[in-house]
Amino acid sequence: MAAVHGKCPLCGAAIKVNDEKETGFCSQCGKQIDIKQSISMAHGSEDKTQTQSEQQGQRRPSTSQRRENREREAEEKAMLSEANQKILDLFQFCSSEEEFLQLRVKVMSMDVSEREKGLLLSILDDATKQRLKNVLEKAKKYESSQESPVSGIVGCVVIAIIGIAIGYFLSARWPGIVGIAIAVIGIIGVLMEKLDKKGMEENRKAAVLIEEYRKQGYKL
Q: What is the pLDDT of residue 63?
A: 81
Rounded-to-10 torsion of CA 171, 177, 182, 186: 160
Per residue in 165-176, pLDDT (tens digit) is 665 665 555 555
Same-domain check for residues 152 and 202: yes
Residues 90, 124, single domain; the answer is yes
pLDDT at 212 over 60: yes
Residue 149's pLDDT band, with cuts at 50, 70 and 90, is low
Q: Are 143 and 207 in contact (CB under 8 A)?
A: yes
pLDDT of 35 reads: 81
In this structure, the answer to whether residues 139 and 184 fall within a common structural domain is: yes
Q: How many domains does the chain have?
A: 3
In a domain? residue 66? no
Return the DSSP state at 25: E
Better-scored residue on pLDDT, 207 or 56: 207
3-state secondary structure of 6: strand
Do residues 144 and 186 both lie within one domain?
yes
How far, in Å, CA of 220 to CA of 207, rounded? 12
Q: What is the dihedral of CA 129, 133, 214, 124, to 10 degrees?
A: -20
Q: What are 18's strand-pairing partners?
A: 3
Tell me the three-class secondary structure of 106-153, residue by residue: HHHCCCCCHHHHHHHHHHHHHHHHHHCHHHHHHHHHHHHHHHCCCHHH
Instruction: Say yes or no: 121 and 90 in one domain.
Output: yes
pTM as predicted? 0.53
What is the C-alpha to C-alpha distance for residues 32 and 15, in angstroms, rounded to an integer? 13
Distance in angstroms (rounded) separating the CA atoms of residues 134 and 139: 9
Asked whether the predicted pLDDT for residue 56 surpasses 60, the reply is no
One domain for residues 89 and 142: no
Residues 124 and 144 in one domain: no
pLDDT at residue 106 is higher than 60: yes
Higher pLDDT, 61 or 86: 86
Average pLDDT over residues 15-19: 81
118 and 164, same domain (yes or no): no
Q: 136 or 42: which carries more pLDDT confidence?
A: 136
CA distance 144 to 201: 14
Please check whether residue 72 lies inside any domain of the structure: no
User: Facing residues of 87 across strands?
Assistant: none
Mean pLDDT computed over every residue of the chain? 80
Residue ranges making up the domain that contains 112: 79-131
**Pair 152, 204 in one domain:** yes
